[in-house]
């Protein structure tokens, strides 16, 4: 059984999820989304929301931020566009179909990049993290909120079993923190600022990664 994810599978999965996504994944992820939005608002300025989906978080960013959202799924983005119009979200600068592993932005374009429940859905998480580090300015932050898999015990066994079935749904169930730690160690231009459990029941993790290097002002 396949345990990895490719772009076609993800696009197919989210085309199916789009009409019911907010109903199924709205409130269950809400508290965790709020925590990551608050972290991004503390950085402020230009914010990239990666895998913005139906735009469920967009209204939460402060009115003094400027937000750009990207997603690989056109049906999910369509919902986000409707939301921006309907809720008159003037701080949303743009929404675009784009692959997280190949972002069409210049280096250091953003003060902060946020990925909520996305890093386990992309085919190559390390390439995506490389891209996030590239487009965030030195002194800026990458904010991730995600399910991080257990490394041992009953939950780890369940996640291993579920991983073999979950890719068709559009995400990978197994994603250990060690993978992010290894990427941080290898990259050289980032450092871990915070990792903490997030609700409900500490099921998710907030991970804040700082972009190191000279800290200038805001992203241009």
In the complex, the residues that contact ligand SAM under the rule CB under 6 A are 10, 14, 25, 29, 33, 51-53, 56-57, 70-73, 76, 99-101, 116-118, 121-122
Q: How far is the CB of 70 from ligand SAM (least distance, A)?
A: 6
Q: Is 35 helix (H, G, I), strand (E, B) or coil?
A: helix
Closest CB to ligand SAM among residues 32, 180: 32
Q: How far is the CB of 1 from ligand SAM (least distance, A)?
A: 20
Q: How far is the CB of 151 from ligand SAM (least distance, A)?
A: 22
Closest CB to ligand SAM among residues 17, 139: 17
Cβ atoms of 208 and 115 closer than 8 Å: no
Q: How far is the CB of 193 from ligand SAM (least distance, A)?
A: 21
Q: How far is the CB of 213 from ligand SAM (least distance, A)?
A: 25
Closest CB to ligand SAM among residues 27, 215: 27
Closest CB to ligand SAM among residues 119, 190: 119
User: N- to C-terminal Cα distance for the chain?
Assistant: 46
Q: How far is the CB of 144 from ligand SAM (least distance, A)?
A: 11
Closest CB to ligand SAM among residues 14, 175: 14
Closest CB to ligand SAM among residues 70, 142: 70
Cβ atoms of 48 and 68 closer than 8 Å: yes
């Amino acid at each position: 059984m396949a345990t990895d994810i490719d772009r076609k599978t993800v696009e197919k999965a989210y085309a199916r999820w789009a009409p019911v996504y907010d109903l199924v994944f709205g409130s269950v992820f809400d508290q965790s989304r709020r925590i990551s939005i608050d972290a991004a608002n503390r950085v402020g300025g230009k914010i990239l929301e990666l895998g913005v989906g139906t735009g469920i978080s967009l209204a939460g960013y402060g009115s003094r931020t400027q937000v750009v959202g990207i997603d690989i799924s056109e049906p999910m983005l369509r919902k986000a566009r409707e939301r921006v119009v309907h809720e008159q979200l003037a701080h949303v600068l743009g929404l675009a179909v784009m692959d997280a592993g190949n972002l069409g932005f210049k280096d250091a374009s953003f003060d902060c990049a946020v990925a909520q429940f996305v890093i386990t859905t992309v085919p190559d998480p390390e390439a995506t993290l490389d891209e996030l580090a590239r487009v965030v300015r030195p002194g800026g932050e990458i904010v991730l909120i995600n399910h991080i898999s257990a490394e041992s015990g009953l939950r780890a066994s369940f996640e291993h079993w579920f991983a073999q079935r979950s890719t068709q749904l559009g995400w990978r169930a197994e994603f250990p923190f060690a993978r992010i730690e290894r990427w941080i160690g290898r990259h050289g231009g980032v450092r871990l600022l915070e990792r903490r459990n997030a609700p409900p029941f500490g099921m998710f993790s907030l991970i804040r990664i700082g972009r190191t290097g000279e800290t200038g002002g805001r992203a241009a």
